[in-house]
Amino acid sequence: MKRQLRELTVSLGATAIRAMERLIAWGSRVGNPTFFENELFPWARALEEGTPAIRRELDAVLRDLDQVPNFQDISTDQRHLSSDDDWKTYFFYAFGFRADHGCAQCPETARLIESVPGMQTAFFSILAPGKHLPDHRGTFKGVIRYHLGLLVPEPKEECRIRVGEDVRHWEEGKSLIFDDTYRHEVWNDTAGTRVVLFMDVVRPLRFPVNLLNGFVIGLIRRSPFVKDGIANYRAWEAKLDKV
C-alpha cells in the first residue's frame, strides 16, 4: 500500500508539472532551444576556469571508483535508464540537501558549485566505456541542465549527446547547457571513461512565472522522489563510515 501511494503521488506530481510547461516556455527569459548559448549564463565561465582544480579533486574520486554509487542506487527512479554498474554519480547537492562527504572530499568543486545562482542539483556523472543512456526526457522545464566536460575520451565525437534533433559532444573544460525536457540520449562509444560535472539550475523566468516556479521547486524538494534519494545517499555515506 505504501508503495502504491508513493507511485500515485509521483504520478500526480509529474502530471501537474507537465501541465506547467507551456507557461514556463512563455515565461522563459532565455528562450526554449535544445542547447543554450553559454553567454546567457555568465556563471559558466567561472566553472570553466575552475576546471583544473575540479579535475584534481575528480582524479582522487576516480582512484576509488568502486566505492562510488551507481545512479540507480541513489535515485531508484533511474532504473529504466541504467541497471548495471556503468553510470556512477558522486553527489554534492540535491534540491537543498548538501552531501557532506562529497563536499568535504572536493572542497574547491563545492565552492564553485555553490557560487552558481539557482543551483539545485550537482554531482559528478561518470559513464563507463561503451555506456549508452536510452532516449528519455527530464521531468521539469523550470530547471535547465548544465554539463562541464571534465574527462572526455577520444575520439570525442564518439562521446556525445542528442537533445531533440541536435547532437553535440563534450569537450574538457567546456560547458554544455540544454533543456532536458526535450527527448535526449547519450552515448560513450569510446574505450575510456567520460565524466562531467552535472547540475540542474533554475531557469531564468519572467514575473510572475518565476514565483510559481519557485513554489513548484519547493514541492519537488519535499517529494518522495527527492526524499528517497536522500535516504539512499545517507545509507551510502553510513557504509563509508564503517569502512
Q: What's the mean pLDDT in 163-181?
A: 97
Q: What amino acid is encoded at 107 in this protein?
A: P
Share of the chain above pLDDT 90, in %: 70
Contact 110, 193 (CB under 8 A): no
> Quick one: cell of 125?
556523472
Please state the pTM of the whole predicted model: 0.91
Rounded Cα distance between 182 and 185, Å, is 10
The region of weakest confidence among 8-22, 69-83, 153-167 is 8-22
Name the pairing type of β-strands 143-151 and 175-178. Answer: antiparallel
**CA–CA dist 46, 40 (Å, integer):** 13
Q: Identify the residue with better confidence: 190 or 72.
A: 190
Residue 10 has pLDDT above 60, yes or no: no
Query: What would the mean pLDDT of 132-150 be, rounded to a whole number?
Result: 94
Q: Is 174 exposed, middle or buried (0-12, 13-18, 19+ CB in 10 A)?
A: middle
Tens of pLDDT, residue by residue over 30-49, are: 999 999 999 999 999 999 99
Question: Which domains does the chain carry?
Answer: 2-242 (2.60.120.330)
pLDDT digits (tens, 9 = 90+) for 219-242: 888 888 888 888 888 888 888 766
Query: Average pLDDT, whole number, for the chain?
Result: 90
Residue 14, pLDDT score: 60
| Nearest by Cα to 185 from 201, 165, 200 | 165
19 pLDDT band, cuts 50/70/90, is confident
What integer is the mean pLDDT of 99-105? 94
pLDDT band at 125, cuts 50/70/90? very high
Exposed/middle/buried for residue 132 (C-beta within 10 Å: 0-12, 13-18, 19+) = middle
CB 120 within 8 A of CB 213: no
- Which whole number is the average pLDDT over 105-123? 97
Rounded to an integer, what is the distance from CA 152 to the centroid of its chain? 17
Cell output for 70? 551507481
User: Which has more pLDDT, 70 or 174?
Assistant: 174
The residue that leads in pLDDT, 11 or 109, is 109
